Structure 1
Amino acid sequence: MAFDLKRADDAPGCRMTERPEDCTIVIFGASGDLSSRKLFPALSRLFEVGGLPGNFAIVGTARTQMSTDEFREKVRSWLEASGNLASMDWNVFAPRLSYQALEYDAPASYQELRGAIESAETQLGLPGNRMFYLAIPPTLYESVSGMLGVAGLARKKSKELWTRIVVEKPFGRDLDSSRVLDAAMHEHFEEEQIFRIDHYLAKETVQNVLLFRFANSVFEPVWNRNFVDYVSILAAEELGVEHRAGYYEEAGVLRDMFQNHMMQLLAMAAMEPPSVFRAREVLDEKTKLYRSLRPFDPAKGFGQLVLGQYAASEDGSKIGYRQEPGVSPKSNTPTFAMLKTYVDNWRWQGVPFYICSGKRMERKITRIVVQFKEVPHSIYRDIVGEHVQANRLLMEVYPNETINLTLQAKKSGEGFCLRTATMSFNFKDGYEGPPLDSYEKVILDCMLGDHMLFWRQDGVELSWTYLTPILQMCEQCETMDENLKFYPAGSWGPRDANMIHLNYLKDLLINERRRA
């Protein structure tokens, strides 16, 4: 089913965009894992629903030596494995694919790549708009962006045609390295050409957090310190480190999840309303939020932070992190973290924010919980007691893209007993069009030049500025063996998390019984 990018039939005033201009998409690391699992399935899906330009070319490049025919066959196998092949016109898509092998540190190799790009553009009659997607290790970002500039592929000053470069997180490994990377990229690319992807932002529920907050007058007046008891942001992952041990040993959960995904979820939940829903204004408000974070106090240290690492499961079916291939048997790399923080501004003063993420947990859940305060005076105290259960708002990103609000109501019958009722909204209800997953959405926005769902460098630096004291404390701690709490793979993390956030398990398990 094709879908109209210009206008949605059921919402003529909604913020939709025109179809992207004709362009060439160049994917670095085209033979790698990210390309096979995410990028080419996303590109094929966009092609199927009419989200790609009317005329386009996809040029793959990587160290792997292969011909264009071999590359096309490889892409075909990826799409067949993802289930996308049967629903698309492969005979139309395949001729737009080509391949050029590349040595990432060889200038002459980039001239060969330039020739391959220009050849594809000439063959298909393309104008020369280009998007470079770096699906490669972050350690190569600096050299590849520099080589593109030296080869004349950056076109920093071009006004007739656009050139964009897309990088995945992490954007450096600390504040200093992020600044070095940024300076290197800006040597050949303007800020408006750089797209720093955080695919969490392209998830439907995450985008709907702002709409829910700022398009409903019922909630905005109570979205502050006067009515909110705490906010909990949770991202539990069922998988372990898998094949990423080399990267994860260097990153850990704080660099892998907190500096990017968790900070973005925090901003969506706590930022002030922008004056207009436009990329610059939205990014400005996120930046203001990061500036308002109360600096981490190393003196309080592990009174604000719980770190954990998964051990073997209780039944022995899952190995521990230290037994994973490529992981040191004495590794102190955390795979779980819970952080208690505050936003020092008028809206949120004194309200704790609990940010939590971990690997090898019982199941994959991503959600934002807003716990409201109890009613100030219970008129039912002689009947049901002093405490009436407070309202709770649950915005679930995964697995169920829903928003649930708990309310108190009377149980049916002669007695006077309260029960918790739930008002629920599912984002998929009533929508019959083809949904875009997160990678489809970010690729589309890159082609359109829309920075709304991407990081800006000042936000990246402020995020690293906040996390740097935490990282330094963890890396310089002489008693890390004592402060790293082990938890069984397949559990809900270390029990010590409840010392920081007494409602931790409650926030994880809310609505699980109802769903079951």
Structure 2
Amino acid sequence: MPRPSSCRQHSRRADPVAESTTTSTADWVNPLRDERDKRVPHIAGPCSLVIFGVTGDLARKKVMPAVYDLANRGLLPPGFALVGFARRDWEHEDFAKIVLDAVKDHARTPFRQEVWDRLAEGVRFVQGTFDDDKAFATLADTLHKLDGERGTGGNHAFYLAIPPDSFPVVLGQLSKAGLAEPEDGQWRRVVIEKPFGHDLASAKELNSLVNKTFPEKSVFRIDHYLGKETVQNILALRFANQLFEPIWNANYVDHVQITMAEDIGLGGRGGYYDGIGAARDVIQNHLLQLLAFTAMEEPINFHPKELQAEKVKVLSAVKLVEPLDETTSRGQYAAGWQGGEQVVGLLDEEGFSKDSKTETFAAITLAVDTRRWAGVPFYLRTGKRLGRRVTEIAVVLKRAPHLPFDSTMTEELGQNAFVVRVQPDEGVTMRFGSKVPGSSMEVRDVNMDFSYGSAFTESSPEAYERLILDVLLGEPSLFPVNEEVELSWEILDPVLDHWAKSGAPESYESGGWGPASADAMMERTGRQWRRP
């Protein structure tokens, strides 16, 4: 295996969680929740959710439908309020109609008029621009009135579904209007969507900016992948069963592959994606968080402080594997066939210049420098216009000695693998060898599948349902803290710097599985990518 990189240097902290992320972590744990049966659904207390950016796709397709779904499941308080802020010339009723349309188009649960009528009673709208002092004074007055009319108790969460360059002015206005500082017995929280910076320096600047207005215990950075049932199920599979943990280490595991593949291109998203690329968009957040869940040690308990401490330990131990020319790969999709139709390449997509060097495929090789994972490479890849849409974590085991068998008996046998399917078809697959029926001894791969859809009668909630409810409950277990974000950028920055000096990305055909350099990256160590 190639050598770990020395190009990424940072001091190891004696305390696995920095002071800035743990000073008030105990405050995050609701003592009432700790005393209750964890199997009982937890209902949010009196509160409101204020959404900035209500005209965008995120609010319309994810946030507002998730709020309705929570109400439909009885997980919001009777007096819950939903407040929109935008420059549109809307009345409360106009915004309520926008929310209703979003609910009918995108909600997961069936529409029920009585649920909507109850939710609509708490819908409010405030018109204004982000730099309008009077608008934020009106917002403060609106929230104060809701405390009296709806019993929201001074508890308000602010969802910034807006570009990061608008954060400074909005955070400043919230502070100036007195909306960031709660009175005794109340809470105020802020919700931030990725990207959490563009590199390590900008991430530190963003964290500092946010923490000047809201303490770290009140900051919730949403990575929607962490709200998926199958991601959380990694912890249950590993730590609630005796079956997996004894072999979950370098003695038995050959390597780990973490893949997020998309079969769509970037039509219409050029303005957002150009200059960001696949590594920043997916590896820095989603895939490194999946790695942390896969490689972390067992926490003392599932309190937020303990979970976050174990994730920080893992990310602190991650190193790039060198040389980067051989252990990383990047590509840019070209024209080809996808789903039975011919599609254009990235450079012909609207919003991209003909000389764009933005990658749509990225793969990197990492080592986790701990006793458990010494010598086990972790391969992370993501791409657009690939063979199919799939996100999975594949733990591939070492080959058995096969001492009783000759080579002809096992020539069609691959390596045992444990695969967590995050999306679609959420579930788990185990691949192992079984004898082929017949008079001869021949062993071939077979799969054993567990599917959420067939094993449970209740459908999995959308990720945003779980995460928004956790914000309102003050439950930060599934939200990355400052140090996790900064450690992730420390891992990725050297790769981005290397690619910036390496010319244009390699071209790959749409509908395939990435550039040739990605296959070569694996073949150098005698391995190959899975074809999900």
The answer to whether the superposition gives a TM-score over 0.5 is yes
8 Å CA contact retained: 1:236, 1:361: yes
Q: Equivalences for 1:34-433 in 2 at 5 Å?
A: 34-82=58-106, 86-89=111-114, 90-155=116-181, 158-295=183-320, 297=322, 300-314=323-337, 317-381=342-406, 384=409, 389-433=414-458
Structure possessing the higher relative contact order (Cα contacts under 8 Å, 6 or more residues apart): 2
Q: For residues 364-390 of structure 1, give each alpha carbon's deviation from its aligned partner in whole angstroms, at most 9, with x where no partner exists.
A: 100011110111342112661589533
Query: 1:311 is matched by which residue type in structure 2?
Result: A
1:504–1:57 Cα change, 3 Å: farther
> How big is the shift at 1:394?
0.9
Distance (Å, rounded) in 2 between the aligned partners of 1:506 and 1:285: 28
In the alignment, the residues of structure 2 paired with residue 406 and residue 136 of structure 1 have an alpha-carbon distance, to the nearest angstrom, of 43
Of residues 62-71 and 77-86 in structure 1, the stretch that sits farther from structure 2 once superposed is: 77-86
Partner Cα separation in structure 2 for residue 190 and residue 122 of structure 1: 26
Provide the C-alpha distance between the structure 2 equivalents of 1:374 and 1:415, rounded to a whole number of angstroms: 22
Q: Separation in 1 of the partners of 2:215 and 2:488? A: 21
What is the deviation of 1:281? 0.6
**Aligned-partner Cα distance in 2 for 1:407–1:370:** 12
> Residue type matched to 1:101 in 2?
Q
Q: Counterparts of 1:314 and 1:271 in 2: how far apart (Å)?
A: 40
Cα pair distance change 1:121/1:294, threshold 3 Å: same
1:429 is paired with a residue of what secondary structure?
A: helix
Stretch deviating more after TM superposition (273-282 or 83-92): 83-92
Contact 2:80-2:122 at 8 Å conserved across structures: yes
**Are positions 1:464 and 2:505 aligned together?**
no
Using the TM superposition, give the Cα deviation of residue 63 of structure 1 relative to its aligned residue in structure 2, in angstroms: 2.5
Shift of 1:308: 0.5
Measured at CA, do residues 458 and 382 of structure 1 come closer, stay the same or move farther in structure 2, by a change above 3 Å?
Answer: closer
The worse-fitting range, judged by mean Cα deviation, of 266-275 and 140-149 is 140-149
- Partners of 1:338 and 1:397 in 2: how far apart? 19
Aligned to 2:530: 507
Which secondary structure does the structure 2 equivalent of 1:384 belong to?
coil
**Structure 1 residues 429, 387: closer, same or farther in 2, change over 3 A?**
closer
Match in the other structure for 1:512: none
Cα 1:494/1:20, change in 2 over 3 Å? same
Residue 406 of structure 1: CA displacement? 1.4
CA distance in 1, matches of 2:393, 2:110: 35
Which segment drifts farther, 490-499 or 363-372? 490-499
Tell me the alpha carbon deviations over residues 114-173 of structure 1, each in whole angstroms, 9 at most, x when there is no partner.
Answer: 1122223332233111111111112212321222111100016x4311111100011111
State the alpha-carbon separation in 1 of the partners of residues 363 and 527 from structure 2. Answer: 10
**Number of aligned residue pairs:** 493
Residue 460 of structure 2 is aligned to residue 435 of structure 1: yes
Q: After the TM superposition, which of the residue ranges 244-253 and 194-203 deviates more from structure 2?
A: 244-253
Fraction of identical pairs, as percent: 37
What is the CA-CA distance between 1:230 and the residue it aligns to? 0.6
| Cα 1:13–1:68 shift into 2, 3 Å | closer
Q: Is the 8 A contact 2:390 2:423 kept in 1?
A: yes
Structure 1 residue 295 displacement after superposition: 4.0
User: 1:473 and 1:183 mapped to 2: Cα distance?
Assistant: 27
Asked if structure 2 preserves the Cα contact closer than 8 Å seen for 1:234 and 1:508, the reply is no
Distance change (3 Å), C-alpha of 1:99 and 1:504: farther
User: 1:320-368, CA deviations, whole angstroms, 9 ceiling, x for partnerless residues?
Assistant: 1111211111101001011111111111111111100001222210001
Correspondence 1:29 to 2:53: yes
Separation in 2 of the partners of 1:457 and 1:86? 38
Tell whether the 8 Å contact from 1:367 to 1:397 is kept in structure 2 after alignment.
yes
Residue 42 of structure 1 deviates from its aligned partner by 0.7
2: CA distance between counterparts of 1:356 and 1:155?
Answer: 42
Structure 1: which amino acid aligns with 2:334? A
Q: Distance in 1 between matches of 2:347 and 2:137?
A: 44
Secondary structure at 1:480 match in 2: coil
Question: Within 2, Cα distance between the matches of 1:115 and 1:243?
Answer: 38
Write out per-residue CA displacement over residues 25-49 of structure 1, whole angstroms, 9 at most, x where no aligned residue.
1011112111111011111111111
Structure 1, residues 392-445: CA drift from partner, whole Å, max 9, x if none?
111101111111111212122222111322222122334233531100000000
On the 8 A contact 1:79/1:85 being kept in 2, the answer is no
Residue type of the alignment partner of 2:75: G
Report the equivalent of 1:3.
Answer: none
Instruction: Report what 2:19 is aligned to.
Output: none
CA RMSD of aligned residues (A): 2.1
Residue 487 in structure 1 maps to residue 495 in structure 2: no
- 5+ residue gaps, structure 1, are 1-5, 510-516
The answer to whether the 8 Å contact 2:229/2:460 transfers is: no
Q: How far is the alpha carbon of 1:18 from its aligned partner?
A: 2.6
Asked if 1:496 corresponds to 2:517, the answer is yes
Alpha-carbon deviation of 1:233?
A: 0.3
Structure 2: gaps of 5 or more residues: 1-31
Q: Which amino acid aligns with 2:125?
A: Y
Q: CA-to-partner distance for each residue in 1:424-475, whole Å, 9 max, x for gaps?
A: 2122334233531100000000001001100010111111111111112222
Residues 393 and 296 (structure 1), Cα distance of their counterparts in 2 relative to 1, 3 Å cut? closer
Give me the whole-angstrom Cα distance separating, in 1, the residues matched to 2:351 and 2:42: 46
Distance 1:73 1:275 in 2: 47
2:138 is aligned with what amino acid? E
Change (3 A) 1:504 1:386: closer
Residue of structure 2 in register with 1:445 after alignment: 470
Cα shift at 1:201:
0.5
Does the CA contact (< 8 Å) of 2:200 and 2:489 recur in 1?
yes
Whole-Å Cα distance in 2 between the matches of residues 92 and 402 of structure 1?
36
Instruction: Give 1:302 deviation, angstroms.
Output: 1.9
Amino acid at match of 1:30: V
